Amino acid sequence: MQIPFFISEDFLHYVWKHKLFNLQNLTTEDGQLLQILNEGMHNHESGPDFSNAKIQIGNLTWAGNVEVHINSSDWFAHNHQNDPVYQKAILHVVWNNNKQVFDNLNNPIPTLVLNGRVSSSLLAKYDKLILNRNEIMCSDSIPSVNKFEFFSWLNRLLIERLEVKTSALQEIYSSTKGNWEQTFFIVFCKNFGFKTNQEGMMALSRNLDFKILLKNKDDLFKLESLLFGVAGFLGQEFKEEYPINLQKEYRHQKHKYNLEEIPVEFWKFGRIRPSGFPTIRLSQLANLIHIQGNLFDAYVRNIPASLDVIQSVEVSTYWNTHFTFLNPGQVKKKSLGKSAVQNLLINTVAPMMFFYGQETGSLEFRDKALDLLEKLPAENNFIIRNWAQNNIFADNAFESQSLIQLTNNYCTLKKCLNCGIGNQVLKHEVG
Ligand code: SF4
């Protein structure tokens, strides 16, 4: 029997789970009347596909597992006949019945064949969906999707995205033994390194207790000596007065706080604009701590009073004429830049607020995180541009973050059957 190539087990799971097949006069392959009382719980781990299902065959009611395959012979291909876990199967749901399946007592397992019971419109829609070469496979059908359902799905995706981010934050929080200031410092530094220097910034922030920086927050020179020193930048010979003084100061701080440098090799200068060099970022970080002190209070606990400060943060005088310690240059203003600030707010501040709200049980902070994303402009990257080409425009970061989650975790993985929009598209046809 020729099976359409687009028939997959996932599709059959979907059809069974949502009962998207003709339920009239259902019979098993041996001709007994079949009624589905409960399709069971979809199991995404190993083991039977649906558990705790309930069916009636003839006059008898059965409770147990349902296994789904394209061909019934897949039962043997998957070696279920030797696995006791599958002995509780009450029904084998297949597209094509090409081999009878037995339980361990040699009793035939009742079989339901779906081929011929699924409407041609659903098959055509699914076929079209997965054949579409556009990365957004449902692009042709999006206009038919109910807007309310579409936006509720985006809401769910945003929460999903924030929850993924918070699990990474949870690890850092545990590693700091529940220290919010240090946790935020690590996360903030990581994102302050942007793409290229995340690793170096992480290593630096893990090697430097934020309390030490806070103690020295009123003295920008000391802050720079601490940051550049632990970053490993002060281990070379200098000719200029400023780095020589930083070096001296760092020797003193190193002894006082028992500090240890990270290898300078962590830092990358290639393929980034000079204004994004790690040396410039470290000076901006020192300035930010100098102005704001406790970053966790300023950006998470007491938001939004101080969001403007980060936009205007600059570098110390020396760095106005330098990009590295060894190359003096022309005077140039080196503020963070609007898109870098937005990136930090979207990827660091909002997830941290959400996580803080989750950990402390304060819904207020979870809502503040969502509000912040709603107020920030949408990101402008190839994912968002691709959606725009398909007439879906993100109005703010809330929506762009949802679309990023959708693209990376559903569209690219072709998980249309698990997607709220895919469900709408398919059910729309069936209904
Ligand atoms: S995962 Fe959803 S949004 Fe993405 S292509 Fe499939 S149906 Fe469309």
Query: Is 165 inside a domain boundary?
Result: no
At residue 258, the pLDDT reads 96
Same domain flag for 76 and 194: no
At residue 309, the pLDDT reads 67
Q: What is the mean pLDDT of the chain?
A: 89
* Closest ligand 1 atom to 138 CA: 8
Same domain flag for 146 and 90: no
pLDDT tens-place string over residues 150-178: 889 999 999 999 999 999 999 999 999 99
Residues 70-95 have a mean pLDDT of: 87
Q: Using 50, 70 and 90 to split pLDDT, how confident is the model at 370? A: very high
263 C-alpha to ligand 1 centroid (Å): 45
Same domain flag for 184 and 72: no
Residues 268-275: contacts with CB under 8 Å, at least 24 apart: 268/196, 268/197, 268/200, 269/324, 271/196, 272/194, 272/196, 274/323, 274/329, 275/323, 275/332, 275/334, 275/337
Pocket test for ligand 1, best of 11, 154, 406, 417 (most atoms within 8 A of CB): 406
408 in ligand 1 pocket by Cβ < 6 Å? no
Same domain flag for 310 and 181: yes
In the block, residue with structure tokens 């046809």: 429
Same domain flag for 316 and 180: yes
At residue 81, the pLDDT reads 80
406 in ligand 1 pocket by Cβ < 6 Å? yes
Inter-CA distances, 328 with 240, 322, 323, Å: 10, 5, 7
At residue 147, the pLDDT reads 84
pLDDT tens-place string over residues 254-299: 999 999 999 999 999 887 888 889 999 999 999 999 998 999 998 8
Query: Is 27 inside a domain boundary?
Result: yes
Candidates 130, 149, 90, 123; CA nearest to 20 is 123
Pairing of strands 89-96, 60-71: parallel
Same domain flag for 308 and 199: yes
Q: Which residues pair with 37 in a beta bridge?
A: none
- Using the predicted structure, report yes or no on whether residue 334 has a pLDDT greater than 90: no
Same domain flag for 110 and 223: no
422 C-alpha to ligand 1 centroid (Å): 5
pLDDT tens-place string over residues 17-71: 989 899 999 999 999 999 999 999 998 777 889 999 999 999 999 999 999 999 9
136 in ligand 1 pocket by Cβ < 6 Å? yes
Output the CA torsion 19→21→26→31 (10° steps): -120
232 in ligand 1 pocket by Cβ < 6 Å? no
Tell me the residue range of the domain where 35 lies: 9-118
Pocket test for ligand 1, best of 419, 424, 427 (most atoms within 8 A of CB): 419
- Using the predicted structure, report yes or no on whether residue 184 has a pLDDT greater than 80: yes
Same domain flag for 300 and 382: no
Same domain flag for 87 and 221: no
Pocket test for ligand 1, best of 130, 135, 137 (most atoms within 8 A of CB): 137
404 C-alpha to ligand 1 centroid (Å): 12
Residues 238-243: contacts with CB under 8 Å, at least 24 apart: 238/325, 240/325, 240/328, 242/318, 243/318, 243/325
Give nearest CA residue, ligand 1 atom 4: 411
Residues 119-148 have a mean pLDDT of: 81
Q: Using 50, 70 and 90 to split pLDDT, how confident is the model at 3? A: low
- How many folded domains does the chain comprise? 3
At residue 295, the pLDDT reads 92
Query: Is 21 inside a domain boundary?
Result: yes
At residue 431, the pLDDT reads 43
Which one has a higher pLDDT value, 428 or 345? 345
* Closest ligand 1 atom to 413 CA: 1
pLDDT tens-place string over residues 198-249: 999 999 999 999 999 999 999 999 999 999 999 999 999 998 999 999 999 9
Same domain flag for 325 and 207: yes
Integer Cα distance of 261 and 279 in angstroms: 15
411 in ligand 1 pocket by Cβ < 6 Å? yes
419 in ligand 1 pocket by Cβ < 6 Å? yes
403 in ligand 1 pocket by Cβ < 6 Å? no
Tokens standing for residue 317:
């005088």
Same domain flag for 35 and 114: yes
Integer Cα distance of 427 and 421 in angstroms: 10
Residues 66-93 have a mean pLDDT of: 88
Query: Is 127 inside a domain boundary?
Result: no
**Angle ∠(233,312,275) on CA atoms, nearest 5:** 40
Same domain flag for 19 and 147: no
Residues 131-158 have a mean pLDDT of: 84
Query: Is 171 inside a domain boundary?
Result: no
Query: Is 147 inside a domain boundary?
Result: yes
